[in-house]
Structure 1
Amino acid sequence: MARNLESLAAGLGDAAETLRAVVRLHQRGVIDLTRPDRVARMARENRIYGPPAALIMAGARHHQHRPAIADERGVLTYGELDEQSNALANALLAQGLTAGSVIGVLARDHRGLVLAISAAGRAGLRLAMMNTGFAKPQFAEVAARENVRAMLHDSEFNDLLDALPPTLPRILTWVDEGHAVPAGAHTVDQLIDGGDLRMPPAPARPGGFIILTSGTTGLPKGAPRTRVTPLASAMIADRLPFPRRGCVVIVSPIFHSTGFGTWTVATALGNKTVLLRRFDAEATLRAVSEHRAEMLVAVPTMLHRLVALGPEIIERYDLSTLKTIAVAGSALSPELATRVQDTFGDVLYNLYGSTEVAVATVAQPHELRLAPGTVGRPPVTSKIALFDEEGRRVTARNVSGRVFVRSGAPFEGYTDGRHKQFIGGYMSTGDMGRIDDHGLLHIDGRDDDMIVSGGENVYPLEIENLLAARPDIDEVSVIGVADEEFGKRLRAYIVPAPGATVSVPDIKAYVKENLARYKVPRDVIILDELPRNATGKVLRRVLQEMD
């Protein structure tokens, strides 16, 4: 009886939370509850084609001539993006692909990637979004595992395609100057020019898409989403203010969750999205200034490069319209959070989540001032809980536990059949965290990053944050390596700041002065740069393989 009452209470709570999410979507302008006809049509198209395609269709109906995408080739309006998406969808089906087939896309951020996403939804094709940082063996293994039937890709990745069967259809999403189109391949432009501009027949079921995990410790896993609830947009928009019919600059890769999710919400609000194929700090400021952008979406490494430009360069650009800087993808250090807000004003929002759980928490500017580095509080439809190793709930403040999330937009399990651990409806993020006296969540590090050295538990992130605050250090990563005496010993990889000379004894003494003795790295290795993936996460497996 008690269990039934508990289930009923949970169900009523979920219903109330769903209602809150709908109201929040209305308040943010994502939907208009005063126009139930539009809401119903949007919901129907979302079920059939998926959110990206449905949002572009709605944009073409409601603001056909507004700019939708700006890249190196110029601007596409919502109407043009809609028509070209239809043409590409029909052309893909004419290539012999059938609804439900998996196609891959390996592209940087530009119109070709957006067209591939939108066209796949209209054709009922499942889209696997590949990481532009793949090495050839990874790329081949993931393409085979996901059963990819065609590959859309930028010409700079022609060499990677050698790892795939030569009979696999290839379509170029972007052709760099001086690059030839391989024999037998087509370009997106060619297919669009010869394609039917009318909507293709509605697929029997949505194709959905596969977003890959970061793969920092091994082969990226595929996290599919066939049906995407509108609540996912509510989770992003709840604590993160988006402009409406304004401009957003996205430099976080769209093939990954943060870039993809923020682009989706920006599109729902009729914004122009400015895309840059490669990140350059000054070019990003130039884009914000020239397009009068109100929002910038990036990863922490990019913010580090922006503030490193210094006031002399930053002050060349008019950034007065910039009201929101959204950051996610890897850990934001307390020192960087403060420097960004000291440089650009209190406009920083720190998103925490994953490909699997979507948005778990968001820290707003005032919370980052109160507790720099925090990941904040859960948005609507998201709940967090901490559990100890025995699965018992951790409720005390400032006590570390495993972070679990109950999300309004859970994933469907990995494409290799595995799944995340669940406790009481909450899904593991794989991180360790604690909730402070203000109710704000802090991430201590990955639960599998914990290093037991000489019987003491150490989380590298604490040491990394300490060292990152030093002016002579540009980047730092700390890992555990095998040690005969201690089982594991700490090794710090450090990239000195430009013009700085780092002293290894000084580094060790500094850590010893500020942290416990057992947290002092036994080894300190100086590097020119840290190995990172496209979302800015350090590739620890590469560091582990270094001698």
Structure 2
Amino acid sequence: MSRSGLVRALGVGLHVPYTLVKSRVLLPGRPVRMARQLYSLARWGISPAGAFRANAARVPHHTAVIDPRGHLTYREFQDRATRLAHALPKLHRRPRVGLLCRNHRGFLETVVACSQLGADLVLLNTGASGAQLKSVVEQQRISIVVADAEFAPDLHLPDDVRLLVADESDEHLTIDEVIAPERAAVIPPPAEKGRTVVLTSGTTGTPKGAKRPHPKMRSLTAMLSRIPMKTGYRVHIPAPLFHTWGYAAMQLTMAVRGTFVFTGRFDPASSLRAIARHDCDAAFAVPVMLQRILELDESELDRHAPERLKAVAVSGSRLPGELATRFMDRFGDVLYNLYGSTEVSWAAIAAPGDLRRSPDCAGRPPFGTDLALLGPDGHPVADGERGRIFVSNEMLFEGYTSGGGPTSHEGMFQTGDYGHFDAHGSLVVEGRTDDMIVSGGENVMPREVEDCVCDMDEVAEAAAIGVDDEQFGQRLVAFVVLNPGWDLDEATLKHRVKTRLAAHSVPREVHFIEGLPRNATGKVVPGELRRLLSEAA
């Protein structure tokens, strides 16, 4: 082995223990509890079942979950999850479970119960329509749907699919009703681990099921090396758990024996109060949630200012530079921005220092992740030039349930975005490869225009899309949401864009609307913008 290869091997070998010590996961404790913890991990591995069993063995009386229904310790939570695992096979001999819940204990209990059984789990989007859900249930061959009561009226399930309500209901069977009141017998590890299927959160078309790989200790520590989570942290997670980002937040929190703090449906005031009331150390959100929090009254922001918040990590949609700066000016340099996708998990993470220097950057790849910008010929582009983003790491997904996968190159997956490296070596994501339009023979990136418009004091948020045009081939249309009490007209907006960008980047049309249509993960839905455009015609 060469010297460089030896250094790399040593680095890989030392990374895991170093990060675990730094995050205080590897700390001495009571010998008996430590032995039980290690025994659980040895039998169950780094799975939800293994992690929660190990935590219940190590810190049985530590609070695991705080949600609108109250508190649960790790021992209490593990007991409920085990009793649910005993109940599911009684509803269907070979359960394949669809989970349609907001963030609360019922979601976690179902995840851990399925993990104990080795049952496949499909995470369903709470923003999907009844018809979409019915289609996904059929395509994924789901036999049991665990859902919140609020979603039950819109579910049109086949006769052979059982419905189990995760919260309270007078009309449907609930988790509390199916689990036995007495403590359940221990379940042995399954012969084969179940698969977790995450639905892609694309803004167009029917979402595809993506098979997630089982987490490895090295992949968890890669995240912990960039996002400063420590043992025992109280973590507020308003990001949807059914999405890859929310699910990753769940895995990190259970890895550090943390306390999950949930409020159910996202509400900016409720989230801010929960962070302050429960002395949360960290939070995981999507960017639009930060924007909604900053829109609260100054008195509300002052009254519930967090005192212990050390890290706020966001992902799931783009983080506008002005939002990053405004948030850190208000709450301190605690913001971390992760860029990734369902298919590649993560690609890069920007720390507060990166965002202060380049507010619109996505940062650098964490340990064990390779990132490349490739041109049409498959070769790396020159420094500063735009290229297609390709990623490789240990958590690349294992393919779509319908077959196939994204474009790949020498073991790396394409994210579907364009980007470039800035002068500091940080990745800057410019937009989707299929978003770029050609107007009058010129390439236009909608994101560049969106950022320019959002920099205007009058503007709260903006989106730009390309539509067909007989004269120019395509034309750029901007949708703009103004801050309350501010005025801005179309001519002034276009003039300001023209002073900063090329003439072909000036929107041909500008529509002022009350709010951008977003899906459950905070992404703007272009199809809804086109519908608004057709209605205005």
Q: Does 1:289 align with 2:289?
A: no
- Cα distance in 2 between the residues matched to 1:195 and 1:442: 54
Whichever residue aligns with residue 441 of structure 2, its letter is G
Whichever residue aligns with residue 74 of structure 1, its letter is G
Q: Does 1:160 align with 2:147?
A: no
- Cα distance in 2 between the residues matched to 1:181 and 1:536: 32
2:206 matched residue in structure 1:
219
> Structure 1 residue aligned with 2:171, among 178, 181, 202?
181
CA apart distance, 1:289? 0.9
Q: Which sits farther off after the overlay, 78-87 or 236-245?
A: 236-245
> Structure 2 residue aligned with 1:275, among 262, 271, 280?
262
CA apart distance, 1:69? 0.5
- Cα distance in 1 between the residues matched to 2:504 and 2:196: 45
2:225 matched residue in structure 1:
238
1:369 matched residue in structure 2:
356
- Cα distance in 2 between the residues matched to 1:150 and 1:296: 31
User: 8 Å contact 2:419–2:429 — kept in the other structure?
Assistant: yes
- Cα distance in 2 between the residues matched to 1:38 and 1:60: 9
User: 8 Å contact 1:492–1:525 — kept in the other structure?
Assistant: yes
For 1:32-64, what per-residue CA distance to the aligned partner results, in whole angstroms no more than 9, with x for missing partners? Answer: 6999967863543444xx621211101110110
> Structure 2 residue aligned with 1:89, among 73, 85, 90?
85
Q: Does 1:29 align with 2:46?
A: no
- Cα distance in 1 between the residues matched to 2:88 and 2:74: 21
- Cα distance in 1 between the residues matched to 2:150 and 2:328: 36
Whichever residue aligns with residue 24 of structure 1, its letter is T
> Structure 2 residue aligned with 1:309, among 296, 301, 326?
296
Q: 1:447 to 1:507 in 2, by over 3 A?
A: same
Q: Does 1:59 align with 2:62?
A: no
User: 8 Å contact 1:250–1:275 — kept in the other structure?
Assistant: yes
For 1:172-205, what per-residue CA distance to the aligned partner results, in whole angstroms no more than 9, with x for missing partners? Answer: 0123xxx5324xxx20111124576122243110
> Structure 1 residue aligned with 2:140, among 146, 167, 186?
146
- Cα distance in 2 between the residues matched to 1:67 and 1:40: 20
> Structure 2 residue aligned with 1:78, among 54, 67, 74?
74
User: 8 Å contact 1:21–1:381 — kept in the other structure?
Assistant: no
Q: 1:18 to 1:545 in 2, by over 3 A?
A: farther
- Cα distance in 1 between the residues matched to 2:146 and 2:77: 18
Superposed counterparts of 1:391-430, under 5 Å: 391-394=378-381, 396-430=382-416
Whichever residue aligns with residue 220 of structure 1, its letter is P
Q: 1:190 to 1:469 in 2, by over 3 A?
A: same
1:118 matched residue in structure 2:
112
CA apart distance, 1:226? 4.9
Task: Show structure 2 runs of 5+ residues with no match.
Answer: none
CA apart distance, 1:84? 0.3
CA apart distance, 1:126? 0.7
2:244 matched residue in structure 1:
257
CA apart distance, 1:104? 0.1
Q: Secondary structure at the match of 1:321?
A: coil
For 1:249-301, what per-residue CA distance to the aligned partner results, in whole angstroms no more than 9, with x for missing partners? Answer: 11111111111111221122121110111111121111111101111111110
User: 8 Å contact 2:362–2:427 — kept in the other structure?
Assistant: yes
1:171 matched residue in structure 2:
164
CA apart distance, 1:232? 2.6
User: 8 Å contact 2:123–2:242 — kept in the other structure?
Assistant: yes
User: 8 Å contact 1:91–1:196 — kept in the other structure?
Assistant: no
Q: Percent identity?
A: 37
Q: 1:305 to 1:365 in 2, by over 3 A?
A: same
User: 8 Å contact 1:26–1:33 — kept in the other structure?
Assistant: no
Q: Does 1:502 align with 2:488?
A: yes
- Cα distance in 1 between the residues matched to 2:452 and 2:44: 46
- Cα distance in 1 between the residues matched to 2:28 and 2:118: 28
- Runs of 4+, deviation exceeding 4 Å: 8-16, 31-40
- Cα distance in 2 between the residues matched to 1:391 and 1:39: 47
1:44 matched residue in structure 2:
42
Whichever residue aligns with residue 335 of structure 1, its letter is E
CA apart distance, 1:468? 1.3
- Cα distance in 2 between the residues matched to 1:202 and 1:323: 36
Q: Secondary structure at the match of 2:155?
A: helix
CA apart distance, 1:429? 0.8
1:319 matched residue in structure 2:
306
Task: Show structure 1 runs of 5+ residues with no match.
Answer: none
Q: 1:397 to 1:24 in 2, by over 3 A?
A: same
Q: Secondary structure at the match of 1:525?
A: strand
CA apart distance, 1:313? 2.1
Q: Secondary structure at the match of 1:265?
A: helix
- Cα distance in 2 between the residues matched to 1:253 and 1:147: 23
- Cα distance in 1 between the residues matched to 2:10 and 2:449: 43
Q: Secondary structure at the match of 1:373?
A: coil
Whichever residue aligns with residue 289 of structure 1, its letter is A
Q: Secondary structure at the match of 2:492?
A: helix
- Cα distance in 2 between the residues matched to 1:72 and 1:33: 33
- Cα distance in 2 between the residues matched to 1:293 and 1:151: 32
Superposed counterparts of 1:506-521, under 5 Å: 506-521=492-507
- Cα distance in 2 between the residues matched to 1:500 and 1:52: 48
- Cα distance in 1 between the residues matched to 2:505 and 2:323: 22
For 1:108-135, what per-residue CA distance to the aligned partner results, in whole angstroms no more than 9, with x for missing partners? Answer: 0011111111111011111100010001
User: 8 Å contact 2:147–2:166 — kept in the other structure?
Assistant: yes
For 1:333-383, what per-residue CA distance to the aligned partner results, in whole angstroms no more than 9, with x for missing partners? Answer: 111111011111111111111111112111111111111121111111111
Q: Secondary structure at the match of 1:158?
A: helix
Question: What TM-score comes out, normalization by structure 1 length?
Answer: 0.92
- Cα distance in 2 between the residues matched to 1:145 and 1:400: 38
2:97 matched residue in structure 1:
103
Q: Secondary structure at the match of 1:352?
A: strand
> Structure 2 residue aligned with 1:383, among 370, 378, 384?
370
Q: 1:328 to 1:239 in 2, by over 3 A?
A: same
User: 8 Å contact 1:21–1:380 — kept in the other structure?
Assistant: no
